[in-house]
Amino acid sequence: MGIKLKPAMNSPAAAEEKSLAMVLRGARAALRAEHRPLPEPAAGEVRLRVRACAVCRTDLHLQDGDLPMARWPVVPGHEVVGTVDALGAGVTDLRMGQRVGVPWLGGSCGRCRYCLAGQENLCDAPEFTGCTRDGGFATHVVARADFCVPLDHLALDDASAAPLLCAGLIGWRSLRMAGADAHVLGLYGFGAAAHLIAQVAVAQGRRVLAFTRAGDTAAQQHARELGCAWVGDSDQAPPEPLDAAILFAPVGALVPLALKAVRKGGRVVCGGIHMSDIPAFPYALLWQERQLLSAANLTRADAREFFEALRTLPPLHVHTRRYPLQAAGQAMDDLRAGRFQGAAVLMPDAP
Ligand SMILES: [Zn+2]
Ligand SMILES: [Zn+2]
C-alpha cells in the first residue's frame, strides 16, 4: 500500500487519518473517547463516514451487561447513517459517497436453518452492529456491504433517518406481527419506536391507543399530537378492547396488563431485546386464543419493505434530540432518565 505518511498534527490530512470512537471497555463501564487508526474494510465490507447515529435502549442494555453475546471492548451504535468512503475488495453493489444505513443485524451466516428459511433475524451465528462488531458511536464504521441499507430515496435528513434503522424497523416488524387485522392497536411505552410506528399505524387507518408510565404527561401529550386516539397510564384499562398490543417498554409487568387489554384472539407483541421478569399471571389472561409473541432483530427484507412503505405514506415526523459525538454518555444518561421525547441522535460533524 506504499509509504505510510506521517502528516504534521493539525493538518487536514492528520485529521483524516484517525477516527474518533466512543468505546465501552466492558459491562457497566462508562463510554470513553478513543482516537484510533481509520478502520480498513475487509473483502465484502465498506467503511462509512458516520453522519448520524441514534441511541437505542439496546445500547443501555449493552452497557448494563444484559446482552451476553457482547464482545468487549466495543463501540456501541446500530442506527447508523453514513456515506461510503472506502470499498473493500469485491464490493460492487455500493458506490463511493452513497448514503446508506447500518442496522442492528450486521451479518448472518447464510447457511443455518434460519438463514435458509428466510429468518436471518434468528441466525445461529449472527453479527450485531455495536455489540459483536463495532458500531456507529464513532466518526467511521466498517460494515458488511450486503447488510447496509441504501437510503438514496429517503426524503429525510441524516439525523431524522438514523432512528429508522432500529426504532423504525423493529417497530415495523412488531406492527406486522400484530397483524394487518389489528385495527385497534395499543402501544405500551411511547419512546423512539412507538412515536414512529404510531404515525405509520395511524396513516394505515388504525386506531392507536398509547400507554405510558403513570403520569408521564409529556409522552402522553406527544402521543396525542401524533394522532393517537386515546392516551393513558399503562395500568389503565383502555376504553375499548385492543385487537393487538405492542410492548416497547422493557417492563415485564406490562405483559399481563396488555393481555388483559386485548380481546379474545388478540395478540401481544414484545418488541424489546431485554425485559424485566414477567410476573406470574392467571391462565385466564392468555386463554381464549390470545397470543404472546416476541419480535427479535430484523431481516433485510424488513428493511426493504419498510423503506418502500415509507415512500407511500405521509412524511414521518421524527423527533430527535441531537448531541455531538463526544456527548454520547450524556445522550445515554438522558435516554435512561427519559429526559426527551423521540430519539437521541449523535452527530459526529457537530462542533
Ligand atoms: Zn436498537
Ligand atoms: Zn444463519
Ligand 2 centroid distance, CA of 123 (Å):
4
Ligand nearest to the CA of 167: 1
Q: Over 70: is that where the pLDDT of 12 sits?
A: no
Mark whether 182 and 258 lie in a shared domain.
yes
Inter-residue contact 96 to 84 (CB < 8 Å): yes
Mark whether 137 and 108 lie in a shared domain.
yes
**Is 83 domain-assigned?**
yes
Ligand nearest to the CA of 116: 2
Our measurement of the distance from residue 107's CA atom to the centroid of its chain's CA atoms, rounded to an integer in Å, reads: 16
Mark whether 216 and 196 lie in a shared domain.
yes
In the beta sheet, which residues pair with residue 262? 242
Ligand 1 centroid distance, CA of 58 (Å):
5
Ligand 2 centroid distance, CA of 114 (Å):
6
What is the per-residue pLDDT across 241-284, written as a single tens digit (0 to 9) for each? 999 999 999 999 999 999 999 999 999 999 988 999 999 999 99
Q: Over 70: is that where the pLDDT of 11 sits?
A: no
Mark whether 196 and 153 lie in a shared domain.
no
What mean pLDDT is predicted for residues 81-95?
98
Residues 6+ apart with CB under 8 A from 333: none
Ligand nearest to the CA of 53: 1
Residue 350's pLDDT is: 80
Ligand 2 centroid distance, CA of 299 (Å):
11
Residue 14's pLDDT is: 45
**Is 34 domain-assigned?**
no
Mark whether 55 and 153 lie in a shared domain.
yes
Mark whether 284 and 259 lie in a shared domain.
yes
Q: Three cell numbers at 176?
A: 406486522
What mean pLDDT is predicted for residues 21-33?
97
Residue 16's pLDDT is: 57
Ligand nearest to the CA of 61: 1
C-alpha dist (Å) from residue 338 to 212, 213, 243, 271: 12, 11, 28, 18
Pairing of β 127-128 and β 207-212 = unpaired
Mark whether 114 and 194 lie in a shared domain.
no
Mark whether 47 and 120 lie in a shared domain.
yes
d(CA 331, CA 321): 9
Mark whether 47 and 154 lie in a shared domain.
yes
Structural domain total, the chain? 2
Mark whether 251 and 350 lie in a shared domain.
no
Domain that residue 246 falls in: 168-294
Ligand 2 centroid distance, CA of 127 (Å):
10
Ligand 1 centroid distance, CA of 283 (Å):
32
Mark whether 186 and 276 lie in a shared domain.
yes
Ligand 2 centroid distance, CA of 119 (Å):
8
Mark whether 190 and 288 lie in a shared domain.
yes
Residue 61's pLDDT is: 94
Q: Three cell numbers at 338?
A: 427519559
Ligand nearest to the CA of 135: 1
CATH number at residue 156: 3.90.180.10
Ligand nearest to the CA of 120: 2
Ligand 1 centroid distance, CA of 248 (Å):
11
**Is 105 domain-assigned?**
yes
How many residues are there in the chain? 351
CATH number at residue 274: 3.40.50.720
